[in-house]
């Protein structure tokens, strides 16, 4: 049975987000940013947010576990917040403590809706500083 998709936002620090990205890479999840890219660009002391939006089951790849596709609001080293996607195991997401009240969660979802994407931010940074590989999201 598929666990129900939670309608909540969870906050994680940069170290936790890097662990989630590493777990996604280990499982070859399709929506994730490279860990080295995150290490280079995330603000070290920032809080980032995950909001599950769909259940992802790869029927053509039965060896891949069920995931929750989360929208993520990331704070990068420039202080900006950018939007991306991250596939997370349901059990892993459930272990992240619930720390945000309803008003804060709604505000974060609104921020996600208006944030530039990782790709847009990376393209703008590349235009300012020179070419860099732009991660897929």
**Count of Cβ atoms closer than 10 Å to residue 30 Cβ:** 15
- Of 53, 33, 24, whose CA–CA distance to 113 is shortest? 53
Query: What is the band of 3 on the pLDDT scale with cuts at 50, 70, 90?
Result: confident
Whether the pLDDT of residue 48 is over 60: the answer is yes
Per-domain residue ranges of the chain: 10-129
Burial of 43 (0-12, 13-18, 19+ CB in 10 A): middle
Please write down the long-range contacts of 34-38, taking CB distance under 8 Å and 24 or more positions apart.
34/135, 37/133, 37/135, 38/74
* Residue 11: strand pairing partners: 49
Rg (CA), the chain: 15
Higher-scoring residue by pLDDT: 14, 137 = 14
Residue 135's pLDDT band (cuts 50, 70, 90): low
What is the tens place of the pLDDT at every residue in 70-94?
A: 999 999 999 999 999 999 999 999 9
Greater confidence, 2 or 81? 81
Prediction pTM value: 0.89
């Amino acid at each position: 049975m598929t666990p129900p998709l939670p309608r909540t936002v969870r906050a994680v620090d940069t170290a936790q987000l890097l662990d989630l990205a590493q777990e996604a890479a280990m499982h070859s999840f399709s929506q994730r940013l490279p860990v080295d890219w995150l290490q280079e660009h995330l603000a070290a002391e920032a809080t980032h947010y995950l909001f599950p939006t769909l259940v992802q089951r790869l029927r053509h790849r039965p060896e891949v576990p069920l995931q929750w596709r989360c929208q993520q609001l990331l704070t990068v080293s420039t202080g900006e917040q950018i939007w991306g996607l991250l596939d997370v195991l349901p059990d892993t997401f459930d272990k992240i403590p619930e720390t945000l009240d309803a008003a804060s969660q709604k505000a974060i979802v609104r921020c996600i809706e208006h944030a530039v994407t990782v790709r847009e931010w990376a393209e703008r940074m590349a235009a300012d500083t020179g070419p860099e590989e732009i991660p897929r999201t």
